[in-house]
Structure 1
């Protein structure tokens, strides 16, 4: 039997599971566009060890760290689960002028609150952004925040999933077309890493070495980049300019701590 009989996942699109579509028994996507993601995959593993295992996922795409701490953490504290995952700050880091030191203080306060409620806490660093055209310019800011995350995990006795060291996630084959969210392969790798950190059996492997690919034609690569900018980057920038988020008016996909099914 697993020592984790209840699990609450907190955060943004990464924990909600974009873009890893949930599928039915027939192998086809579930109607309604529901996503699975690494957290659901880990919950499936934990449920296989304990039929009374309960799970909630309060993550909502687009949320900033202040919103996650203000809206999701108190709900998790009230649920009093054995395990809470907390991954937030990615959307903040993408915004100009983000302050990783202030963000770290906010995260540390949330961790103290969750630990005081008796929960084991699972924290994450992000993926090294050096291969991403836009995010690599803010690589130093990302690195500072994730060094804080490592320190917080050590100080408060938290589990840590270090995605920065996961070389397989630096390949675009682990990511969806928007280049911001992992696909099924990426979420499988993260779930496998989480299971290893928690000491939970898992059939998947996070140490993935991708087969070599032919060198892309530079002209084709530029066309691909332009298409990505029109389809994904432009709408993202416009939402930020308008003070909007992709998660506005969306509710968590699993708002209650219930038996997993």
Structure 2
């Protein structure tokens, strides 16, 4: 036995996350996890608290991948974040002009720019949202195919940059398809869903060598309680107007699904 073998093993070296960035759509804004005094918390704030980092979050509701590249990225790069999470693409799938190749190009450019400032990017890869948001059969298949095309675009963008970005696959997120993980609109995570997402992101970053001193607790606390009255109000004030606004964009998707047996691309 050598002297060296008698020495205690050194703990693995971890890199602190001083600046954390999140880019993307309403999920990155925190929708679905309301605070008692108003506003939203969501997985970016939960992950910020877990890492002790400064958070830069230019995400906005309705954002598409092109918005991430052209509007949000310029707001993030000067901060030179250690880690950036990208949560975008679902809004692209809900538009009549969905273009998987364009999504891939915008994401690839965003990843290259983040790597250029020494940032470790993490991209969200999407679940089968038709298992959460119930739709008629033909439309369900059409939108499922769009999410498949979106995920293929995400995979290709990551591969084109050498595959060194982290991928958080929401389809494999433990508890991700449970009803309690989703808010009343079935479009955004609930507080629990945001906590599950933040915890999984923290575990992914730990595996990549980053320090996450206070892993996210999945027990809900600090958010606003959602009651039956809140759910009913959402249907009247938010849900129906949203469906009306999206009607013009979703109409071609529905028609294509009905005429082409649900094959949308």
Residue 62 of structure 1: aligned partner: 62
Matched, 1:150 2:183: no
Q: What is the Cα-based RMSD across aligned positions, in Å?
A: 2.7
- Which 4+ residue blocks in structure 1 deviate beyond 4 angstroms? 226-233
Task: List runs of 5+ in structure 1 lacking aligned partners.
Answer: 23-28, 48-52, 207-225, 244-261
Match for residue 172 of structure 2 among 165, 171, 182: 165
* TM-score between the two structures when normalised by the length of structure 1: 0.73
Residue 241 of structure 2: aligned partner: 235
Residue 248 of structure 1: aligned partner: none
Residue 224 of structure 2: aligned partner: none
Q: Determine the C-alpha separation between the residues in 2 that align with 1:121 and 1:87.
A: 11
Residue 38 of structure 1: aligned partner: 43
Task: List runs of 5+ in structure 2 lacking aligned partners.
Answer: 1-13, 207-211, 220-231, 250-265
Partner SS for 1:146: helix
Match for residue 191 of structure 2 among 167, 184, 192: 184
Using a 3 Å threshold, how does the CA distance of structure 1 residues 242 and 150 change in structure 2: closer, same or farther?
closer
Q: Determine the C-alpha separation between the residues in 2 that align with 1:228 and 1:46.
A: 33
Q: Determine the C-alpha separation between the residues in 1 that align with 2:60 and 2:233.
A: 27
Residue 136 of structure 1: aligned partner: 140
The CA deviation at 1:242 is 8.1
Matched, 1:193 2:200: yes
The CA deviation at 1:121 is 0.6
Deviations 1:173-227 (A, max 9, x none): 1111111111101001001100110003525369xxxxxxxxxxxxxxxxxxx99
Aligned residues: 212
The answer (yes or no) to whether the contact 2:105–2:157 under 8 Å persists in 1 is no
Which has the greater radius of gyration? 2
Between 1:156-165 and 1:166-175, the stretch displaced more is 166-175
* TM-score between the two structures when normalised by the length of structure 2: 0.72
